[in-house]
Amino acid sequence: MIPARSLPRFLLLCIIGFSLSAPFFWMLGASFKPRAEVEQAHIVPNEPTLLNYPVVLDYLPDPVTDAYIGVRYARWYFNSVFVAVGITLFQVLTSAMAAYAFSRIQWQGRDQFFLLYLGTMMIPGVVTMIPNFQLMVSFGFVNTYHGLIIPAAFSAFGTFLLRQFMLSIPTSLDEAATIDGAGHWRIFWDVILPLSRPGLIALCILTFLGAYQSFFWPLVMLQDEQLFTMPVGILRLDSSYGRQTELIMAATVMNIIPLIVIFVMFQKFLVKGLQLGGVKG
C-alpha cells in the first residue's frame, strides 16, 4: 500500500513514465495498423493486422501495391549484429588496455595525458566525421565492414569507465603478482580483468547498444545494399510508393527486440558496473 504522503510523487512518476513510453506504444500499435489507418493519432488500431511483419520480411507482397518490397531484412539484421559485436570486442579490449596503462602503471605525464585524452569526449562527432571518412578513403575501407568497425574501436568514455573501476582494485595485488614473477600482461590478463568483470559487462552493454543503433556513420560509409545495417536499411521502406510508416514501425519493432532483451537480462550488471566504476576507493 502506497503511503498517502507518497501518492502525489507516485502519480507524478506515473505520468512522466507514461509520457516517455507513449511513443513506444504508438510505434507498437502502428506496426499492426493497415496503411489507411496508420497516420491516425490513436494508439490502438481499429482493424489490427499481422501482415506488416511478413511483408517486411519479404514473405508476402505489400497488400497496397501487390508487389514484394524487396528488402533484405535478414541480411541487414546480420550486418547490424556483426558490426555491433565487432565494435564491442575491439572497443572493450582497447579501452581495458588503455585503462590499465592509465591506472596501474606509473609513467611521467600519465594523469595529464589522460585528461587530454578525456577532453576528446567534448569534440562533436560531426567535427571528426570528415577526417575519419578521408582516412577510410585513403585506406580503401569505404563500403566495408572494417570501415564501420575500426573508427569505433577506441573510446575515451570506455577508457574512463574502466580506469575508474581499476583504480578501486588494491595495488597490493599487483605487487604480489610481481613478486611471483608476473609481468604487466600477466597482471592485466589474470588479475585485473577478472576483477573488473562488472565494469567490462557494463561497457559491453553500452557499446553494443550504441553500435547496434548507429545510423549516421553507416549511412556515410556504405553504398552496397548488401552491407547495409538495419537503421540504414529501414530507409528503403520510404520508397516511391510513399512513406510506408506501418512497415517502418514493424521493422523497427523487430529491430529493437534484441536491445530490450539484452537490457532486461543484463541491467543488474549495468547498474552495478556503473556504480562501482563511478567511485574510486
Grid cell digits, residue 279 = 567511485
| Residue 276: closest CA among 196, 207, 208, 174 | 196
Complete domains list, the chain, with CATH:
73-234+256-277 (1.10.3720.10)
Query: What span, in angstroms and rounded, lies between the C-alpha atoms of 149 and 90?
Result: 8
Contact indicator for 230, 72 with CB cutoff of 8 Å:
no
- The angle at the Cα of 97, spanning 92 to 99, to the nearest 5 degrees, equals 90
Contact call for residues 95 and 88 (beta carbons, < 8 A): no
| Whether the Cβ atoms of residue 100 and residue 188 lie closer than 8 Å to each other | yes
pLDDT in tens, 147-204: 999 999 998 999 998 998 888 888 888 888 888 888 888 989 988 998 888 889 889 9
pLDDT of residue 240: 47
pTM: 0.85
**Apex 276 CA angle, 197 and 187, nearest 5:** 45
For the stretch 198-244, pLDDT in tens is: 889 889 988 998 999 899 899 999 988 889 999 888 887 776 456 68
